[in-house]
Amino acid sequence: MAKTAAGLEDGGQGVIDDVEGSDATAIRLLEMGLVPGTPIKLVKRGPTGDPLQLQLRGFHLSLRVAEADRVRLKAGQ
């Protein structure tokens, strides 16, 4: 099973491999900068585990776990 951004631990890092799907949500994630080859880091999780605060391209981005689960990371990351 491919590792996803939602599976990162606090402080964990990875490189985006793909965004699953071709629907409006997938397109929106790509438009927000979650494109293949981009390094990302999980800064922290909300009090209940949702949302996630990610750091990429010099900014912080909050995503729901369901959205972050669609962001696949390269193997070995």
pLDDT value, residue 69: 96
Name the band, by pLDDT with cuts 50, 70 and 90, for residue 2.
low
Predicted confidence (pLDDT) per residue in 5-60, tens digit? 999 999 999 999 999 999 999 999 999 999 999 999 999 999 999 999 999 999 99
pLDDT at 75: 85
Residues 38, 66, 11: CA angle, nearest 5 degrees: 50
Q: Is the pLDDT of residue 4 over 60?
A: yes
Q: Position of tokens 């669609």? A: 70
